[in-house]
Chain A
Amino acid sequence: MNKPSTIEEVLTNRTRPKSPTAIQASATFAWRALLRIRYVPEQLFDVTIFPIIFLLMFTYLFGGAISGSTGEYLNFVLPGILVMTVSMITMYTGLDLNKDIEKGVFDRFRSLPIWQPSVLVGALLVDTLRYLIASTIMVTLGYILGFRPEAGFSGVIMGVAILLLFSFSLSWIWTMLGIIVRSEKALMGISMMFLFPLTFLSSVFVDPSTMPNWLQKFVDINPITFVVDAVRTLIHGSEANGDVMIVIYISIALIVIFGPLTMYFFKNK
């Protein structure tokens, strides 16, 4: 390898190679996101500390009151808190993007001849990995505390898989907001406004049949309820009740609606 040494010598490189495919470009952006985590490991707090705090807190806070024992409640609530925690941390995707976009580097990405969504797809793929980390930590901690999935290990994997699909799809809402909302704080406010009621007013913590009628009606149409029920079904192996398919439909719908919208705002910012 004959190394050139002056600027003029490195300028002779006129031919551009073929542009990367959509998958290659997405993988490159994913690689970038991984590198960033290496430099700023604090980025992983939300997927490590959060799940631990949530699981311990809710199990021991509500367990005795709701189920009479924390052990029994843990089996009921773990799939729920899993969904809640992972849904909540999806909003960090938007926050990161929002911070990132203010810097000039996005202009460079957008002036490159690449499949434009790869910028976001790559980041979301790594975020899905983060969700997986969070899920693994929760299930492991749960197991130590006495959580026993009735459908065994494979049930847990299926449950986490469907949750990751949903979270990946949900992230597109936050990426879209991350692009159009002006500040991080505003984005935080908006996402909390939706995520808090949606995660609490669902089947995460208690059986909806114990709720007043009007609330049940809301809980029954809350997408989070479907996700929680689907994950619970898969983890505990009760008979499939169509929730899994509904979650898949919801996920596809989220991507179909918010994917193009995100790209529209991304291109026309």
Chain B
Amino acid sequence: MEQYLVIARSVTHAQRLERLLARAGIRAQIYHAPLELNGGRGCAYAVQFRCRDLRSVLHMIYGADLGPVQVYSCGEGQYREVQV
């Protein structure tokens, strides 16, 4: 399973994403996002989770009107932006 990081615009947005994922059985954690991942806009929150099928997760996020989001795949301390 791949690990992903979704950048949320606010803590409320991050919490709603976390709860949405939890309802789908995906355990997620909220972190203060690394500054470099937020396009120079400053403080933000990131929701980290593992999943097999990112497309269906994104479908769920956008379906719940919680988009747009920036998504990164992460591993070994590296972040790679995923085109949504």
- The answer to whether A and B come from one shared complex is no
**Residues in B lying within 8 Å of A, measured CB to CB:** none
